[in-house]
Structure 1
Amino acid sequence: MQRALVPARAVHAAALAALLLVPVVVVASYAPVWTGQPEPADLAYFGPAGAAILRGAWSEVFRDPAVQAGPLELLPFGVLELVGPSTGAGWVVAHAVGNLALVLGYLVAVLAPLARGPLRRRAARSGATSPSRMRPLVYVGAAAGALVVLGEDLPWAVSSGHPAQVAVPALWVVAAHAARRGHSTTTGVLVALSAAWEPWGVLGAPVIFCAARPDLVRAACAGAVTVALTYGPFVATGSFRMFELAWPVTGMSAVHAVLPDLEEFPWSLRLLQAVVVLGVGVAVARLGRRSVYAAWLVPLAVLTTRLLLDPVMWQYYWIAPQVVLVALAAFAVASRHRAAAVVSVGAALVVESPGARTLPGLAVLLVLTVLCAVLLHVRAPAPREEHDRVPVPREEHVPVP
């Protein structure tokens, strides 16, 4: 029998860690109100579109090409549009609820592999009781959560109007672990759900190659059905104009440095960008699938390549690689892999610096990604059972009398 992809103790530990972080989250949620900008940045676009979903006016949802978000991201903004707060205190509560929901989901993705892996084995060897076994998970979750909240990654994702910058990479990490455990259908569904947050979620497809024997047909079918269910009703209305948008090419992007005369970046170039990003992701997945860190390295490689080829490279784009680095660091520290811990924690701290989120900073991130991939692949090969389609722990074998 296969064990749950997300163990119950990981969910419980994530909930307890999020509860410990409530005071920090509330303080961080006050920042947008204090600066005089309580409304999320893209509420003007996402609010009416989300409200249209809730009102059943589906032909209005994607009528504006500027709406480059999926239904899962539009819905909470639709709620704000319909019953949005009118006072500063109300906005603090709205931001706090959004931040706590994002923290909880993110910590589940961080703690799920730890609950099945090193912390579980260490607790079993020490003979710890159930409450004692959960305590390290709570501590690791609280530390990781505090870093991304105090570093303004999660609050910024909400205030910028793009919680997908956290939700998408978190889903990719869980999908990668699903692939390694032989859950190809689940992998396809999770990647498609990430695209239901924002379309670039499809770039997480290479995580299926983290599996030793990926079932590509099953994953692709599951993903296609999920995408059809989430976007199909809006396409069927005949007012789906998402693919008509052309992005400006900003001076802060690497695209401008290479092609200074290029002014617009239409969806045709987005597709070319996607081909390159997916190719890099598949290559990293195939080369590093024997590492226990493949589930984080593949998303990190995809996100870094996406940044490198992006025409706008908005500041909030850096949230996604940062939350992956923090999750990677949490696993490395908890696993007591010293070299991996030093590299991943150092990379997370470097990228956390606002001064690093520039074109030169992108070069630093690229170097750090390559360094992470090399060191973590060499230093920490995955144990054999990580590649088995149905892993069975040694302690579960029952001797036959």
Structure 2
Amino acid sequence: MSAPTSQKSPDAGAGPRGPAVAREPALAARVDAGIDWALAQKRIVGTVVMVARNGQEIYRRAAGFFDREAGTPMRDDALFRLASLTKQYVSVAAMALLEQGVLRLEDPVTRWIPSFRPKLEDGSEPVITVRHLMTHTAGLTYSIMESEDGPYHRANVSSGLDQPGLSMEENLRRIVSVPLSYVPGTRWGYSVATDVLGEVLARAADATLPQLVEQLVTGPLGLKDTGFHVVDTARLATPYGDGKPEPVRMGKEHWVSCVPSNVPFVPDRVFDARSFAAGGSSMVGTAEDFLKLLEALRTGGTPVLKSSTVEAFATESVGVEAATLAPGWGFGLGMGVLVDPGLARSPQPKGTWQWMGAYGHTWFVDPVNQLSVVALTNTAFEGMFGAFPKVVRDAVYGVTR
């Protein structure tokens, strides 16, 4: 899809501007055009897009609205509910504990959570390992991956985006009450596995998950704006959901249409201290902080991981035959890994890492071309798997469709 230019929506202006960026004029013009198209088409409300090449930030733009109804322009230091971008922070923390020998990939989950013993339909109890959790091959699922009358819906299992005040203990009990979807290790299925992983990490390290992620990841990287709590409520972007003729501002509870079932969002969950720290979806942060995480990983992991650990982290563990979320993509220990660019219809080279977040975010790292790209929006689900992330991706590579 080509992205024609259009009149620009408001750019950053509500907060302090970031550092000066050495822009690549041709790339900047293409990405600007893609953003302008998405805003003009009312596909998204606001966005912050950042690109780094060879360790240098070459593009940064905040565009559209931070709060459309108030007329507040997006700001480049805006805080976003990260949704599944949380998984990358928690997975890096897991890799750090693996390096330290605190846990192993083949450890059974019951070593750390003795009561976590979900069964198969026939009543048998398979072993679920840390590896299964990290690769989403544990036999678990998300309610959003099943129909409205599915077992996770009936058990009221939380995705970590809803049900403020729910405890981890209660959500684990609900997960265990539902039969596994398949024998662990035999398939790939996107799931609450990273929430369970977060509890494993907390118990293994004798710390809360927020403390652990700060100690092992955000602290060493100096990511002061990212965590399981909101550091500055005035900078938290207003969330919106897909709608016609334009996205709809989220209220206290908001449902976004999706197949096979609608997805519940409760934006104020982040303010309820009783809510369990969901390793798959609970963090809040900025595009700048996330780009720093990606660049640290792309360049070898310092100061959070060894380069050999990053290589294992970002290597395909589950292949395309496992039927991941998109054709041509496999899965590593916490992120998608591009296996077949032709099948994926992507200009990215084989070995690219990528993932997304339900509140409207995507990112990718292209190790071959030394590129890191972050595109955060305040619009679910368009910013996650609508036209917008593809337009940004293609603009970075100079591809027209």
Please confirm whether the aligned pair reaches a TM-score higher than 0.5, indicating the same fold. Answer: no
TM-score by length of structure 2 reads 0.26
Higher helix residue share: 1
State the structure with more CA Rg.
1
Q: Whose relative contact order is higher, 1 or 2, with alpha carbons under 8 Å and at least 6 apart?
A: 2
